[in-house]
Amino acid sequence: MLLHGYFRSSAAYRVRIALNLKGLDYGQRSLHLRRGDQFSDAYRKLNPAQLVPTLEDGSSVLTQSLAIIEYLDETRPNPPFLPDDAQGRARVRALALSIACDIHPLNNTRVLGYLEKTLGLDQKARDAWYLHWIETGFAAIEQMLAGSRDTGRFCHADAPGLADICLVPQVANAARVDTDMSKFPTIARINAECLGLPAFQKAQPQNQPDAE
């Protein structure tokens, strides 16, 4: 398997965690997003959205981090990323989507680029935007986690899964704008639990070959 990603991309970070949790070997090809490597014709053929990550698994070319992670879970079922029951799966997917839809898309490279270049926002205004969506999203997720008996050592019970895979990269992003994590104690606790595991540590941005 070959993962097209970037050390700072939190969507690629999710897929690295998933691959590591499944115990899979994979190669990495780095696309420097701020230099625009994703806009090459060759990459657009693989991924028309010109975003990372893309995973090649044999002849299959897979895009969208959550679709990739569900694919890995279906084709390599152990350890599972989703609980056995439909309600539990819906809860875990809702937590994952609360990050993947409600926070991350607002703060990715191309959106920050639009705020800077098209709207002329300075660094302070861009950081305020970034922090606003993290704090809004984390407030919801903290309540979803702290208010549920399904929350255990991890987001759902006592093994890491799809929600944790999304949570840890988002907490890493939150640190870029000095988010006060004392407001989100359950998120902070679960993040620390996850980062105690080698699968998460190995996937961290600073441990990638293209880290700067």
Find the binding residues for its own copies in span 153-172 (CB under 8 A).
Answer: none
Q: How far from each other are the two terminal CA atoms of the chain, in whole angstroms?
A: 24
15 lies in the site for its own copies, by CB under 8 A? no
3-state secondary structure of 3: strand
105 lies in the site for its own copies, by CB under 8 A? yes
| Distance between CA atoms of residues 97 and 47, nearest Å | 21
**Residues binding its own copies: number (CB under 8 A):** 49
| Distance between CA atoms of residues 88 and 95, nearest Å | 11
Cα 67 from chain centroid (whole Å): 12
Find the binding residues for its own copies in span 73-102 (CB under 8 A).
Answer: 74-75, 86-87, 89-91, 93-94, 97-98, 100-102
CB of 176 to its own copies, least distance (A): 19
Query: Which of 5, 137, 160, 205 forms a contact with its own copies (CB under 8 A)?
Result: 137
How many angstroms separate the Cα of 185 from the Cα of each of 14, 36, 144, 150, 188? 21, 37, 12, 16, 5
Nearest 5°: the CA angle 158, 161, 166 is 125
109 lies in the site for its own copies, by CB under 8 A? no
24 lies in the site for its own copies, by CB under 8 A? no
Q: What is the CA radius of gyration of the chain?
A: 17
* Residue ranges binding its own copies (CB under 8 A): 44, 48-51, 60, 62-64, 66-68, 70-71, 74-75, 86-87, 89-91, 93-94, 97-98, 100-102, 104-106, 110-111, 114, 118-119, 121, 125, 128-129, 132, 136-137, 139-141, 143-144, 147
